[in-house]
Amino acid sequence: MAADWLGSLVSINCGATLGVYQGEVSSVDQSSQTISLRQPFHNGVKCPVPEVTFSAMDIKELKILEIRSGSNGVTKRSVLDPSAPSTGYAGRKDKGGGGAQGNSAPVTVPGKTEARAHDGGMSPSQNYSKSYGERHADIANQGKVFRRRHNSWSSSSRGANQVTPKKNGSKNGQMKNRDDECFGDGMDDVLDEDFDFEGNLALFDKAAVFSEIDSSDRRGNGARSRGTPAEQTQSRYRHDENILEAKPVVYRQITVPQPGAKEYSTDSGLVVPSISYELHKRLLTVAESYGLSLERRLEMTGVCASQMALTLLGGPNRLTPKNVHQRPTVALLCGPHVQGAQGISCGRHLANHEVEVILFLPNFVKMLEAITNELTLFGKTGGKQVSSVKDLPDTPVDLVINCLDSHENTFLRDQPWYRAAADWANQNRAPVLSIDPPVSGQEQAVEAKWSLSLGLPLALPERAGRVYLCDIGLPRHVFQEAGVKYHSPFGCKFVIPLHSA
C-alpha cells in the first residue's frame, strides 16, 4: 500500500522549529515509520539536498497536494481534512501531536478502501472516477463555468473538481454573471505575476510630495491649512520646538564678583561659574547667620550625596526586595573635619537604604562635635566602623566614598593613616566618589571618578573626575548678600551634572 503514494506531492508541517516542507514522495518505510521527499522545498525555498527523510515523530501535519497514479496515468489533487479519521498511511499516528495522520485524513487510492469526504457527503472514488478533462466537459455541457481562483481559499482547501455550491433561487443567473465579471478570463495571467514592490516604491518621490504639501500649506491653499490668514503665516514648529518664547533665553543667569578659573554648564546649557574658596566660606557664613546651621547643611549634604551614590550603585535595578542576596557594599573613608562629618551623614542614609556601609575613621583624642553626633546616629543603623586600614575589605567593593581631604588642613596628607587609606582606595579598583573635594596646589592623593560640589562649584582639577553640583538649600538672598547674582540651575533635581565649558 505504501507504494501507491510514491510520486505524490505532499506538504509536511514539522512545527515551528523545523518548518514546512513540500516535495514528491520518493519512499515510504512502514517498518521505520519514515517518509522521504524528492526535490524538497523548505518554507518555500528549494533545499540544497536532493532528498529529505522525515520520521513520524517529527510530523505535525501532512497534506497531500497531488496524487499521481502510475497504473492509469490519472493525476488527483486534494488537501487532507484535519477532522477526518486517520486511516491509510502506516507511518502516521492516531494522536495529533505525534504524527501527521492525527491532523489529516487520507485521500482514497484506486483499489483501496474508500473514506467519506469532509464536505458534500461525496466519496473520493466519486470525485476521481473521471479525469479532469472529462469532468470539465460534463460541467460545460450543463451550462456551468468553473474557474480556478488564485490566492484564494478555494484553490488551497478544495479539490480542483469541487465547485462552490450555489444557492437555489431566482438570482442564480445574476450571481453567475457577477462571478464571471470578477473572475473572468485574463485574471489568471495577471495573478500569476509577482508584484514588484521595490520598483513601485521607487516611483514614489517622497521628498517631492512633502515639498509640495509644505508649499501648499505656506500658500494657505492646502487642505491642512487651519485658522485665520494671519495665523497661517506663522512658522510651523516641530514636536520638540512647540514652545513659544516670549523673550530670548539667558543662559548666563549666575554672575559672581570674582569668577574662578573654570566655567561649567548644565545639560540645559545654563552657565555655572566656579568660585574661590573664600567666596564659598562667605556663603556658608551668611547662611549660618540666617539659621542654616552646620547640622542642617550636613543633613542636606548627606541626603543628596546618598541619593547620588544610590544611583551610581544601580538604583531600582539593584536595590529591590528580590535582590537581597546582592546587597551593594560601600567603603566610606573619612577624616576628622567637616568633610568627614558630611561623609558619615551620607553613610547613615545609605545604611538606612539596605546598603552595607564600612566606615573608616581613625581614632583621635579630640574630634568635632558634629562628627561625634554623626557617629552616634551612624551606630544606630547597624553599619560597620573600623579605625585601621587592615580592617577594610581585601576584595573590591562597589563604591568608595572619599572624605579624607579638608579645605583648610592640608597637613593631614603627611600622616600615615591618610597615606595608607589613599593607597587602599587607589588599589581597590572600585570607582571613587569624592564629596566636597578641596582645591589645593598639590595633586589629589585619591583619583576620583565623580566629585560632588556644594552650592557653587570650585575650580577642581582633572583628577577630580566628572563634577556634579549639590543643592544644600542656600536661599537666593544669601547669594545676593555675598555679592552673587543667582538663579537656581537645579530645576526639578537636587543633584545635577556639570560639563566643562
483 in a domain, yes or no?
A: yes
What pLDDT does 436 receive?
93
Quick one: DSSP state of residue 162? P
Contact assessment for residue 454 and residue 472, using Cβ atoms and an 8 Å cutoff: yes
Does pTM top 0.85 for this prediction? no
Cα–Cα dist 386/398, whole Å: 18
Cell 557617629: give the residue: 375
CA end-to-end span of the chain? 87
Mind listing the pLDDT tens digit of every residue in the chain (501 residues)? 677 778 888 899 998 888 899 999 888 888 888 999 998 999 888 898 889 898 888 898 888 888 775 444 445 544 444 333 333 333 333 433 443 343 443 443 333 333 333 444 444 444 444 444 454 445 445 444 444 444 444 444 444 444 444 444 445 666 666 766 676 655 555 556 778 888 888 788 888 888 888 887 666 554 454 555 555 445 566 666 666 666 777 889 999 998 778 899 999 999 999 999 999 999 999 999 999 999 999 999 999 999 999 999 998 888 888 877 788 999 999 999 999 999 999 999 999 998 999 999 998 767 889 999 999 999 999 899 999 999 999 999 999 999 999 888 778 888 999 999 999 999 988 999 999 998 865 667 888 999 999 999 999 988 889 999 999 999 999 999 999 999 999 999 999 999 987
The type of residue at 54 is F
The residue among 90, 105, 129 that closes a domain is 129
Is 437 exposed, middle or buried (CB count within 10 Å of its CB: 0-12, 13-18, 19+)? buried
170 in a domain, yes or no?
A: no
- Per DSSP, the residues of 438-472 read ---SSPPSS--SEEEEESS-B---GGG-EEEEE--
Q: What is the CATH number of the domain that holds 440?
A: 3.40.50.10260
Cα–Cα dist 37/83, whole Å: 25
The residue among 110, 129, 148 that closes a domain is 129
Is 226 exposed, middle or buried (CB count within 10 Å of its CB: 0-12, 13-18, 19+)? exposed
Cα–Cα dist 65/45, whole Å: 17
Contact assessment for residue 105 and residue 82, using Cβ atoms and an 8 Å cutoff: yes
The residue among 129, 164, 187 that closes a domain is 129
Cell 529529505: give the residue: 52
The type of residue at 126 is Q
350 in a domain, yes or no?
A: yes
380 in a domain, yes or no?
A: yes
Cα–Cα dist 42/36, whole Å: 14
What pLDDT does 155 receive?
41
Cα–Cα dist 100/126, whole Å: 25
The total number of structural domains in the chain stands at 2
How many of the other CB atoms lie within 10 Å of CB of 293?
12
Residues 6+ apart with CB under 8 A from 312: 399, 431, 433, 450
What pLDDT does 334 receive?
94
Grid cell listed for 173: 443567473
Which H, E and C letters describe 143-157, residue by residue?
A: CCCCCCCCCCHHHHH
Contact assessment for residue 491 and residue 471, using Cβ atoms and an 8 Å cutoff: no
The type of residue at 183 is F
Q: What is the CATH number of the domain that holds 80?
A: 2.30.30.100
What pLDDT does 244 receive?
62
473 in a domain, yes or no?
A: yes
User: Do 121 and 267 reside in the same domain of the chain?
Assistant: no
434 in a domain, yes or no?
A: yes
Grid cell listed for 299: 543633613
- CA-wise closest residue to 427 among 412, 451, 447: 447
Instruction: Using the Cα atoms of residue 123, residue 128, residue 133 and residue 137 in order, give the sign of their dihedral.
Output: negative
Cα–Cα dist 319/213, whole Å: 52
Dihedral, CA atoms, 7, 8, 9, 10, nearest 10 degrees? -120
213 in a domain, yes or no?
A: no
206 in a domain, yes or no?
A: no
Can you give the residue range of the structural domain that contains 60? 2-129
What pLDDT does 125 receive?
40
The dihedrals phi and psi of 396, each to the nearest 5 degrees, come to -65, 140
Strand pairing category for 329-334 and 356-360:
parallel
Cα–Cα dist 105/83, whole Å: 7
How many of the other CB atoms lie within 10 Å of CB of 174?
10
Strand partners, 332: 359, 401
Residue environment code for 391-411, b if the CB has 16+ CB neighbours within 10 A, otherwise e: ebeeeebbbbbbbbbbbeeee
- CA-wise closest residue to 342 among 442, 470, 432, 443: 470
Which H, E and C letters describe 323-340, residue by residue?
A: HHHHCCEEEEEECCCHHH
- Per DSSP, the residues of 370-411 read HHHHHHHHHHTTT-EEESSGGGS-SS--SEEEEE---SS-GG
The type of residue at 10 is V
Residues 6+ apart with CB under 8 A from 105: 80, 81, 82, 83, 84, 85, 86, 87, 115, 118
